[in-house]
Amino acid sequence: QVQLVESGGGVVQPGRSLRLSCAASGFTFSIFGMHWVRQAPGKGLEWVAAISYDGSNEDYADSVKGRFTISRDNSKNTLYVQLNSLRAEDTAVYYCAKEIVSSSWFHDWGQGTLVTVSS
């Protein structure tokens, strides 16, 4: 069965960087588009970034454009997001999510990893 396991979260100071990973298993990772979605404490879901199955296309929410970079390593079945210039408002649980077909809704989600930006 599909498994998505995020890691790399933690407490980080404002302005610093963090890289999150999402290890995928149970499906052919290299043929599915992938996304990052975040949820601030007590708030709703916010789409963050997307990457195509082969890594050739990336999209970002305006709130993170220029600061976050999504990437993937299909040889390692792993999705990444590099979080730079972190702000207090980036504090959230970060989920990776898998499409079911190209540009589709999110059929599978990881359990999330918490990023706390605080001095």
Q: Is 105 in the site for another protein (CB under 8 A)?
A: yes
Q: Is 106 in the site for another protein (CB under 8 A)?
A: yes
Q: Is 109 in the site for another protein (CB under 8 A)?
A: yes
Q: Is 27 in the site for another protein (CB under 8 A)?
A: no
Residue 18 or 37: which CB sits closer to another protein? 37
Radius of gyration of the chain (CA): 13
Q: Is 114 in the site for another protein (CB under 8 A)?
A: no
Considering only 9-17, 20-28, 67-75, 100-108, which stretch makes contact with another protein by CB under 8 A?
A: 100-108
User: What does the chain look like in DSSP terms, one character per residue?
Assistant: --EEEEE--EEE-TT--EEEEEEEESS-GGGS-EEEEEE-TTS-EEEEEEE-TTSS-EEE-TTTTTTEEEEEETTTTEEEEEE-S--GGG-EEEEEEEESSTT--EEEE---EEEEE--
Shortest Cβ distance from residue 105 to another protein (Å)?
4
Interface with another protein by CB under 8 A: which residues? Answer: 35, 37, 44-47, 50, 59-62, 95, 103-107, 109-112
